Each structure stands twice: as C-alpha cells, then as structure tokens.
Structure 1
Amino acid sequence: MSFGSFRRRQTSLVALIVSLIFAGRIEAQQNGHYLQGITGLDNGSGAPPGVYVAYLPYVNAINSFKGPSGQTLLNADLNVVAHNVAYQVTTHKKILGAEYGIAVIIPVVNTRVAFDALNTNVQEAGVSDLYFAPVVLGWEKGKANFLVNYGFYAPTGDYDPAKSLNKGLGFWEHQIQAGMSYSFDKKKLWNASVLSTWEINQSKTGQDLKAGPMMNVEYSLGHRFDQYKINLGAAGYVYHKLSEDSGSDASILGSRTLDRSFGIGPEFKYTNPMKHFGLSFRYERQFAVQSKTQGDVYAIGLTWLNIFPPSHH
C-alpha cells in the first residue's frame, strides 16, 4: 500500500468515526444544551443584589462511548471544552418576595477528537448557542435559600446538519430551574444544596428530530472555613432523559433506551466580597452511563463580583 493510499484511508476512517460520534450514531439520543456538573456548592442559592461577571471553563474529558446497557461501544480520546462567559445582575427589586435578576451566558466551544492509533486529530471551535435568563428569582428564609430561574437557549451557533462537527445544536430550548440551599447549624458552616434543571426542546434545524425533555439534578455538601470565605466539600449530579426523541431522524441505532449519566467528586470554592473576587474548582467522575459519553468533568469558576449595599426602606 502506498503512503498516499494509506493517508486517504486514514482520513476516511477519521471522518467515519467523527460522523458516528457527532451525527448521533453512537449516542442513541440527542444531547441538550445544559452541561452536566456545571454547578455545585451553593447552587440552590440566588446571588445577592449586585453585578457578576464570570469566566466558567468546563472540560469534559471523554474516554468512552456507552451503549444502551452501559456497555462500552468505543474507547476514545475526546475533549469537549466550553469557555462560558456569564453576566448576571441581581437587583433590589422584589417579585413575589424574591430578589429579581437576569443572566446571560455566551459559550465558546472547542471540540478536539484525537485518535492516537492514527496519529491525527480533528478540531472545531467557535461561539455556540446563547443562553438568556430573563427571570432569576432568589429568596432567603432563615437557614434556607431558594432559587427559581427561567431561561432559553437560542440557536446562534453555526449548525449544518450535513456536517459532523458543529458549534451549535441547531434548536431552541427552554430551561426551568428550581433549587434550595440549607445550613444545618446556627453558624451556617455545614451546608447542602440541590438544583434541578428541566430542558424542554424544540425541533432541530434541517432535520426531522425533536429531542425529548431532560432532567438534571445537581447536589452538594460542604463546610465553610476562613470566616465563610471558603466552602469545601463534594458535589455530584444525576442526568436522565425523560422521554424518547421524536422524528424520523431520531435514534439511528434503533435503541429506545433513554440516556442517563451520573457524576460525583470534590469541590473547592472561595469567595471574597471585599476583594470582589470568587474562585471555584470542581472535579467529577462520570459513572453508570448509558447511551452517552463517559469520562471526567473539570469545572472552574473565576468571578468578579460587585455586591450592592442593602437597600434602605
């Protein structure tokens, strides 16, 4: 076999594998926009009145693709990186007794598929689908905090159904969140939180495919140190698709198994309002996955915060 022939076959094999991965032939269900494990400690609490600008890099280091029964269909070296830039304002305005705010997230996604056996890789990067939350509500009641959000993803990222790699997902999505944080002791050192996220999807551009609704439940348990600046603990998540994708382009594998994923790991969170600075790092190992990718999640948060002084009535 000539070198040129080998390179052509190598390129064809790479294209085939990428097509299998990203066209849904390995993942039996369409992915949603929400990133599993993107939140952790204090995720059930609304931010106090102020302005928040954050850089939230999220890395999913994928090592395998799991089938409907959790079996390994393919081992892989695939890094999906989302560089999220978030802007949130919480006001002193009250709605139903809650402090009202809005939020925007601009994600820049970089996907790198590496094939060590072939000594090659494929990459795609660019701005993905924009998230806007016109309703962010937070309540504080003694030892408990509550959070309710409504937002949506707009298909602003480039999407072409004929391509294997795309920056966007090609559909609108509604997102509803409800959460709670609770402190167990009088000093509010021991704390736990839970945040549920519900994804309701619209039809996909250029395809007869509508992703089924999805549920994410993220939880945490932590302890505060250093005059409440540090929160150290563990965080995890449960993800499950609630019903099958619909349309003639759904589930090329023919499997009707609903995809699911779990993750858990440690988290460090530092917040210093006097310095207008926040930092968090979270690692979660994914497990018990079916019809989906499995690997490790690394989530980092760098936040500039300017908390408003209490309002005077």
Structure 2
Amino acid sequence: MTTYHKRAALAALLAGLASAPALAVNGHYPPGIEGLGAATAPPEGVYYRGYLLHYDVDRFNDAGGDAAPGRNSGSVTALAHRFIWMTGQQFLGADYGVEAIIPTLDLRFDLDVAGGDRFSDKGVGDLFVGPVILGWHGERWDATFAAGHWFDTASFDADNPASVGKGYGTTMLTLGGVWHLDADRTWSLSALSRYEIKGKQDDTGITPGDSWLLEWGIGHRLANGLELGLVGYDAWQLEADRGAPTSDKAERHAVGAEAGYFWPAAGIMLKGAYYHEYDTRAGGLKGLESEGDAFRLQLTKFL
C-alpha cells in the first residue's frame, strides 16, 4: 500500500469512527445489555440495576460487510447505573414507573493504518432520563412500553473516535413482550425493541438516521432456579444520515447465550451473557462499523 493510499485509508477510518463509540453502534443504546425476560416491568418499588459490558472489536467493516485494511481493533468497557422507580400508580391499565441511567465508559482503539494510531477516552457518558415506563401483566405474558431521552451531556471531540459522548441527543421509544409457554412459566420467549430518533450533531452538521434494535431470547428455568437461554440482537438503520457523504444504512446482528439466577431472600438477580457478532455493515455517519464480541454482567437489587 502506498503512502497516499495509507493516508486515504486512515482518513476514511477516522471519518468512519469519529462521533460514534463502537459499543453504541445503533445510536445511544448499546445492544446486548438486556436479554431474557427484559420486557417484564418489576412490581412496585425502587430498584438499582448495574450493567457491566465489555466489547472487544475484532475488525471494522464497510457498507458491504468487508473488513477495512490493516489490523484494526479496540475495546469498550461500560458500567451503567440504572435507577427504576415503579410508583404503584396505574395508567391505561399498566403499572407506571420512571427511570434514569448514568453510564461510564472506557474506550480504546488501535488502528493499524498509516503506521498505527491509538485513540482513547473515558468518563461519564450521555445521561438518560425516562419519565414513562408502562408495564402490563397477564397470566402467561408481560408487556412493556417506555419513553425517554438521551441528553447530550458528555464530552465529545469530532477528531477523537473514542469520545465518550455522541455529540447529539436521542429520543428512545421502547416496546416489548414476554410470552410464557407453560403454566409454570419455565419456558419463555422474549423480545424488546428500541426505536431511536436522533438529533443533529452540531460539530459535524450531520443528523444520524432513525434506527431500530430488537433484542430477543428463548429461555428455560430449571428446577433449581437457574435460567438458561439463547439470546441475540438485530439492529437496522431505517433512514440515511442527513448531511453525510453516503446514503448507506448500518445494520448489526449477533447471537449468544445467557445464564441467570434470582435470590428472593436477598432481593438480588444476577445475569451473565456472551454475544458474537456475525454480520455488521456501515452507515453514512461512520463510514465503518465495528464487529466483535460482547460480554455482559447484569445485577439487579431490589431496594
């Protein structure tokens, strides 16, 4: 590769990565943080839920799913603190609640292009406030609707692809359900979708296109209380980025496994999951899309 082509490749890679941390590739919401039973709203009370997510980037793909030149890798480690209050009030026949999320991020990218470049950043990410959680419950089913906004509160640098902030705000709508296949609720099918409406990124003048993410799971609870299951996520960018040089739309697909256990006496639930991404394609804002493996631990404490 000539010096000119190396510089061109690096410029494309930086344009592809800037303004979009690799973990939250579909927008603000990071895929893979929810799994089995995620669409079941808890009963009345106050809850803390902590998410520890580590994402290893194996490569960066273009709009056709082909890897970018060179050995490009990275990692994202996130610890998100989520606070949920189910008020005990009802609206439209559903239990009503509110929530807030405070994420902390540590991002590192090693780019083996034009001699190699390293980028990193860490700190508190953009904050989320959700004034609406609605949870319905049936004999063999549960359903949830939620609405909230990711605020542009974190540090953002358009020249640093590892910035913890996005540089824009996002309104997020959530809808999902859990279906229990037997009266004892030992088998379940779950699906949780997130629709993201993104604002304009002032530093670049680009408005990322709306996107839709589906997290799904098939689970079975054993007699000893351990729940095991197959999980995955699929994400699609539904419209092209306004102001971007291309009309490409990103997408991302992964499959994995989850295990979880609930200790009723302690009011604690612990879940762990692994996801392998098998297909990612880039959109207009980023030009390139990361592909890798994610590991997640989720702790819920009933306060």
- 1:161 lines up with 2:158 in the alignment: yes
2 CA distance for matches of 1:68 and 1:114?
21
Q: Kindly indicate whether the alpha-carbon contact (under 8 Å) linking 1:64 and 1:72 is maintained by their aligned counterparts in 2.
A: yes
The amino acid across from 1:86 in the alignment is: R
Alignment deviations for residues 10-33 of structure 1 (CA, whole Å, 9 cap, x no partner): xx99x86873453279x9xx8510
Give, as a single letter, the amino acid of the residue that structure 1 aligns with 2:226. I
Aligned counterpart in structure 1 of residue 42 of structure 2, from 43, 47, 51 = 47
C-alpha separation between the residues in 1 aligned to 2:131 and 2:294? 28
Per-residue CA deviations over 1:196-231 (Å, capped at 9, x if unaligned) read 11000111122211010000011100011245x422
Separation of aligned partners in 1, 2:211 and 2:73 = 26
- The residue aligned with 1:84 is 80
What are structure 1's unaligned runs of at least 5 residues?
Answer: 1-11, 307-313
Shift of 1:122: 3.4
Q: Give, in whole Å, the separation in 2 of the partners of 1:161 and 1:184.
A: 48
> CA offset at residue 120 of structure 1?
7.7
Question: Which residue is 1:9 aligned to?
Answer: none
CA distance in 1, matches of 2:135, 2:78: 27
What secondary structure, in the 3-state scheme, does the structure 2 residue paired with 1:275 have? Answer: coil
- Superposed, which structure 2 residues align to 1:1-313 within 5 Å? 19-23=14-18, 31-74=26-69, 75-114=71-110, 121-226=118-223, 229-247=225-243, 250-251=244-245, 254=246, 256-291=247-282, 292-306=289-303
- Contact 2:72–2:112 (8 Å) recurs in 1: no
Matched to 1:288, the amino acid is: D
SS of residue matched to 2:68: strand
Give distance in 2, aligned partners of 1:60 and 1:21.
18
> Displacement of 1:98 after TM fit?
0.7
Q: Deviations over 1:48-72 (max 9, x none)?
A: 2221112201122111111111111
On the 8 A contact 2:26/2:213 being kept in 1, the answer is no
Q: Is the 8 A contact 2:19 2:161 kept in 1?
A: no
Measured against aligned partners, the alpha-carbon deviations of 1:248-297 in whole angstroms (never above 9, x if no partner) come to xx14xx4x221101011100111222112111111110012111211001
| TM-score, normalised by the number of residues in structure 1 | 0.84
TM-score by length of 2: 0.87
- The answer to whether the 8 A contact 1:198-1:216 is kept is yes
Cα displacement (A) at 1:299: 1.3
Q: Residues 221 and 207 (structure 1 numbering): CA distance in 2 closer, same or farther, change over 3 Å? A: same
Amino acid in the other structure paired with 1:242: L
Q: Number of paired residues?
A: 286
User: 1:31, 1:211 within 8 Å by CA — same for their partners in 2?
Assistant: no
Contact 1:273 1:305 in 2 (8 A): no
Supply the RMSD in Å over aligned alpha carbons: 2.5
Q: Secondary structure at the match of 1:274?
A: coil
Partner of 1:6: none
Unaligned runs of 5+ in 2: 1-6, 283-288
Residue identity matched to 1:80: V
Q: What amino acid does structure 1 have at the position aligned with 2:126?
A: D
1:99 counterpart letter in structure 2: D
State which structure, 1 or 2, has the greater radius of gyration over its C-alpha atoms. 1
Cα distance in 2 between the residues matched to 1:284 and 1:164: 23
